[in-house]
Amino acid sequence: MADDIEYKILGDDMQIIEIALSPGQTVIAEAGAMNYMDDGISYESVLGDGSRPPGDFWEQALGAGKRVIAGVSLFLTHFRNDTDSRRTVAFAAPYPGKIIPLDLGMLGGQFTCQKSSFLCAAKGTALDITFTKNIGVGVFGGEGFVLERLRGQGKAFLHAGGMVVRKELSGGRLLVDTGCLVGFTDGISYDITQAGNLKSMLFGGEGLFLASLSGTGLVYLQSLPFSRLAHRVMQNASLRPGGKDEGSILGGLGGFILGNRR
């Protein structure tokens, strides 16, 4: 069972989440997400989410290997209230956007999200890497061949860039820019589809493929994925006055690469 934590989200476009921990409670977070905390909270980097008793060497190595493949931090940070009174710890995301609170118990105990969106969760939440069934999703889907799956009955918190849109699907189909997908509940199938005909794919500006979501459940979308923001910044940097110096060449190359990974 996950710790029953209380929280408060502060701010608008640059949000912070404050989590109140009762004595003995713990919250887990990605490395580097902590913003501030009260005295009396201890923290340590742990190999794993702490939802299960430590297994043998090979079990731990398998879990670590999955996180390395996913491109996320090998360790999670555990923040524990070691006092006899309530203490607060706060987390913030690394770029502008919104924090999405999830009650996994109300969502069927499972939620799948892109690997960069997880922020923090109550201890007892299991984090695992899931490989998409279709290799085409991994090659062309824009978010890589792996997604992160959250399991449990407690609260978890994601971060999304820009504005958040919550969609409910009831057997229908939704087409989404691959970078704009944050996550979805169990019951939603995820695949990719071509973005129109050849002319649209080459000149439409929407990339070569779109994410195709179908089934019954909830889908969360973001209006400004970080890859799109970074692409615009590097694109503008490549157009600086002074000609094609080293910075503009690298900026243009980086913008081209990011643009083709959207």
Give the tens place of pLDDT for each residue, 252-262: 545 544 554 44
Q: Is the pLDDT of residue 50 over 80?
A: no
Q: In the 8-state DSSP scheme, what is residue 14?
A: B
φ/ψ of 74, rounded to 5, equals -70, -30
SS3 248: helix
Q: Helices marked H in the chain — which ranges?
A: 57-70, 135-140, 198-203, 226-237, 246-261
Lowest-pLDDT range of 68-72, 128-132, 227-231, 239-243:
239-243
Answer yes or no: are the C-beta atoms of 48 and 74 closer than 8 Å: no
pLDDT at position 243, please?
47
Question: Residue 123's pLDDT band (boundaries 50, 70, 90)?
Answer: very high
Distance CA 32, CA 256 (A): 29
pLDDT of residue 253: 45
Tokens of 132: 């998409």
CB-based contacts of 30: which residues, under 8 Å, 6+ apart?
72, 73, 76, 77, 118, 119, 120
pLDDT of residue 200: 54
Q: What is the mean pLDDT of the chain?
A: 80
| 246 or 20: which leads in pLDDT | 20
Strand partners, 170: 216
* Residue 62 structure tokens: 């398998």
Residue 20 has which token pair? 């109140």
Is 159 within 8 Å of 119 (Cβ atoms)? yes
Enumerate residues 6+ apart whose C-beta is below 8 A from 150: 102, 104, 110, 111, 112, 113, 118, 121, 125, 126, 127, 156
pTM of the model as a whole: 0.80
Domain ranges, ordered by start, for the chain: 6-161, 227-261
Residue 245 has pLDDT above 70, yes or no: no
Say how many CA atoms lie within 13 Å of 78 toward its Cβ: 17
Assigned CATH for 6-161: 3.60.160.10
Residue 129, pLDDT > 90, answer: no
Q: Measured in whole angstroms, how far is the alpha carbon of residue 92 from the centre of its chain? A: 13
Q: Where are the alpha helices (DSSP H) in 126-170?
A: 135-140
Residue 258, both tokens: 């990011």
Whether 175 and 214 have beta carbons less than 8 Å apart is answered as no
The Cα 61–Cα 229 span in angstroms is: 35
